[in-house]
Amino acid sequence: MELFSRQVWLNFLALLPATGLTVLTIAIAFLRFYDEQDFKLLELVAQPRLWSNRLTLAAFVVALVNFCVEWHRRNRETSRLSRAQAQAADERAEEEQRRAEEEQRRVTEQEQATRRAGIQNRWIVLQIRYQLDPSEQTRAAMTNFLLFLQEYGD
């Protein structure tokens, strides 16, 4: 795992606005609701009310930044889901097309097999007729059939 990868930093930076907002809210509450009697630390701050107002303004700015970060994250997630759905739809369409092509190929092969069987049966019938009745008419039918095979040889 790479410690300084881009995604790690993006995740870290995405946490900053919400965390900053929390810290600012705590600081505002601390400055607004407590005084020097409660905490001796507040003696260091010259004008707590002024600093509370400044921190309130900063909290609004951070809230706006947090809103923008969340907006961007949700848009990215929505976009990712859209791409995933589109990809799944494309894959289904390709699978459907592949099945249709396979079905068409199977139908074509079946038609060819049926045609070949018909031709073979016709040849067998002509051979049997010739063996039973070697007449000139049967011989002409066999000659026509041989011409057909030569011309349209399957």
Tell me the two tokens of residue 21: 């907002």
Q: What is the pTM of this model?
A: 0.50
Mean pLDDT across the stretch 114-120?
A: 84
The Cα–Cα gap between 59 and 25 comes to 7
Query: Higher confidence at residue 16 or residue 66?
Result: 66
pLDDT of residue 3: 61
**Closest residue by Cα to residue 28 from 54, 64, 62:** 54
Side-chain half-sphere exposure of 31, counting CA atoms within 13 A: 18
SS3 category, 6: helix
Q: What is the pLDDT of residues 26-53, one digit of tens each?
A: 888 877 777 766 667 777 777 877 888 8
Q: What is the pLDDT of residues 54-63, one digit of tens each?
A: 888 888 888 8
Domain boundaries, the chain: 7-112
User: pLDDT value at position 4?
Assistant: 67
Greater pLDDT, 90 or 67: 90
Find out whether 150 and 135 touch, Cβ atoms under 8 Å: no
